[in-house]
Structure 1
Amino acid sequence: MRALARRHLGKLVTGVALAVAGAAVAVGVSLPDDAGAAGDAAKAAAAERDAVAPEGTVEAAPEEGEKGVGRDPLTDAEIDRAERLAVAGGNLRRNALDVEGDRGPEHLSTNLTETDPRLSGTAAAQRRADVVYYDYKSDAVVTKTVNLDTGKVEDTSTDHGVQPPPGKDELTEAAQLLIGDRLGAGLRADYKDATGKKLTGPDQLELSGMVFRKGTVANVPADLAACGTHRCLRVITKVKSGPWIDTRALVVDLSDRTVGRLS
């Protein structure tokens, strides 16, 4: 792992050197010639012509409305309303747990609901949103379909063994667990090699990641056997404005808050 980090650093340094060289070439090209005052005057006139604004008026983008039309993406106002309505009634807010173990479900996404071919007329034209949560208490994906025209939750589905892409807070929590775990020693060492500083939290890294699916691996260690039922992530880490650090062999089980390594 540490060798990989140093190899990336070498590429980074090389890239900086090339950028400096390119800048030097650009400066050389832009140097004035020896045509004298007449040449300078001609260049100034040309620059003035180029600086003239094109005809027409550029208008600012219109403000986003409170409500979209048809299949327009959800507006910010619609997203906020859908998420409030989704947890306003029922026991989801009281009974579910988020990724940190606090009361309330972990929000994953809010998207425009797919068109239902069984609906027609006014019902078909109404705007709906699917608000997706993960409940860490029951290891279940909960989807609330909210009718934004009526303000009602029209449908609630609960699925086990379904693993949507991770949310930002989940990636942050997974990285925090990885940094603090004994299996994160290589990550901490690589970060120190790259920056000269101690890695203490996820805010020092650029994060991305994916759900770990057991079917993609030939030999799954016993401590990762529950993944699929549990919420398990592979976290991709990068030093901010720096190299990638290879953590692909490490899997974080967010449901039981442990870290495992793939062979």
Structure 2
Amino acid sequence: MTEQQLSTEGDSPPSDPRPSRRGRFLTPRALGIGSALAATAAAVALVFATQTAVQATSSPESPASTPIAADSTDEDAPEKATEVSKPTTVAAAYDGLTGAEVEYVRFLGAQDPAFAAGKDLFGEPGLQFLSTDVADPQAYSDGHRRLLSLYYDYATNETVSMIVNVTNGAIESVDRASGTQPAPTDAETSFAWELLLDADTAQPVVDEFAALTGGSVLTPASAEVLLTAHSFVTDAGSFGAESCGVDRCVQVLAQVDGGAFLTTSTYVVNLSTRAVLSIS
């Protein structure tokens, strides 16, 4: 694997770190279905090819659109709604995303049998929503507006891709791929952080935080910590996380008060099994 650069006071960040939602109680009510950076792809196959081990804070070159971060709780997530109306105005094929159409296609995706058959991050029925972006209009000739939604199925460890036609409200394709790991959502990042702190092997991280903050106790809700994360896929140079890449695994970066980074590069959190792994 490619290790994160280390500073003298812990792990250094990826470029342009973004904030992460943090909650004390990591349940669907607290974290919801989550959101993440969207995949950029011209076709479903390309989505799967380009989503492996994507940094949560990275962005593709010349993106076709700016993904909407459709954060929502369990109660008000579009997937849980009784009905979501079609947007009054359907955007042109090449236009950027709107919040209304993201909600609409998320609702439509939840009506597909493949959605209910899956499991989310918390083990509850329904696929884990990851992101939505504009499907490449050049792949079609009818001028219809299409969005591409990505989900993760924790029941099968597969990335699920849906092409939804906003113009006519049809789900045109549902495809699955194993061994692909889109960037983790905020909910996944927060859940991984809590699992890491609950592990007995994480005591060095707790001690490091106390040393940096004058004795403060590190908890998942510590306001001094800014979280980012990236997906983790094992390689020939990594030992201790051999299932990662098949299983859904992430590494968490934790920055203290906008300065030093805690040393978390030796830990990988397997979200599929909820195990905290020590790697070398």
TM-score (norm 2): 0.65
RMSD: 2.3
Q: In structure 1, what is the Cα distance between the partners aligned to 2:89 and 2:176?
A: 30
User: Is 1:164 matched up with 2:171?
Assistant: no
Deviation at 1:131?
Answer: 0.8
- Could you tell me which amino acid in structure 1 is paired with residue 115 of structure 2? L
- Could you tell me which amino acid in structure 2 is paired with residue 256 of structure 1? T
Aligned counterpart for 2:191 among listed residues 169, 173, 193: 173
> Which digits, 9 at most, give the CA deviation of each residue in 1:102-141, with x for residues without a partner?
2221111101011344x32xx2x11111111001111111
Aligned to 1:212: 232
Runs of 4+ in 1 over 6 A off after TM superposition: none
**Which of structures 1 and 2 has the larger relative contact order (alpha carbons within 8 angstroms, sep 6+)?**
2
Deviation at 1:72?
Answer: 1.6
Residue pair 1:172, 1:202 contacting (<8 A) in 2 also: no
Deviation at 1:218?
Answer: 1.0
- Could you tell me which amino acid in structure 2 is paired with residue 257 of structure 1? R
Aligned to 1:26: none
Aligned counterpart for 2:120 among listed residues 83, 98, 101: 98
Q: In structure 2, what is the Cα distance between the partners aligned to 1:229 and 1:130?
A: 23
Aligned to 2:76: none
Aligned to 1:36: none
Aligned counterpart for 2:165 among listed residues 136, 142, 147: 147
Aligned to 1:78: 101
Give the number of aligned pairs: 197
Q: In structure 1, what is the Cα distance between the partners aligned to 2:126 and 2:238?
A: 35
**Cα separation, partners in 2 of 1:6 and 1:235, compared to 1, 3 Å:** closer
> Which digits, 9 at most, give the CA deviation of each residue in 1:123-172, with x for residues without a partner?
2x111111110011111111111000000100000111111111111111
Residue pair 1:143, 1:157 contacting (<8 A) in 2 also: yes
Aligned to 2:131: 109
Q: In structure 1, what is the Cα distance between the partners aligned to 2:162 and 2:242?
A: 29
User: What aligned pairs does 1:162-201 form with structure 2 within 5 A after superposition?
Assistant: 162-195=180-213, 196-201=215-220
User: Is 1:231 matched up with 2:248?
Assistant: yes
Gaps of 5+ in 1: 9-64
Larger radius of gyration: 1
Q: In structure 2, what is the Cα distance between the partners aligned to 1:229 and 1:104?
A: 20
- Could you tell me which amino acid in structure 2 is paired with residue 159 of structure 1? A
Q: In structure 2, what is the Cα distance between the partners aligned to 1:129 and 1:203?
A: 37
Q: In structure 2, what is the Cα distance between the partners aligned to 1:240 and 1:135?
A: 35
Q: From the two aligned structures, give the one with the greater helix fraction.
A: 1
- Give percent identity, aligned residues only: 27
Aligned to 1:249: 266
> Which digits, 9 at most, give the CA deviation of each residue in 1:161-205, with x for residues without a partner?
111111111111111100111121111112222223211215532
Residue pair 1:214, 1:227 contacting (<8 A) in 2 also: yes
Gaps of 5+ in 2: 1-6, 13-87
Q: In structure 2, what is the Cα distance between the partners aligned to 1:126 and 1:136?
A: 32
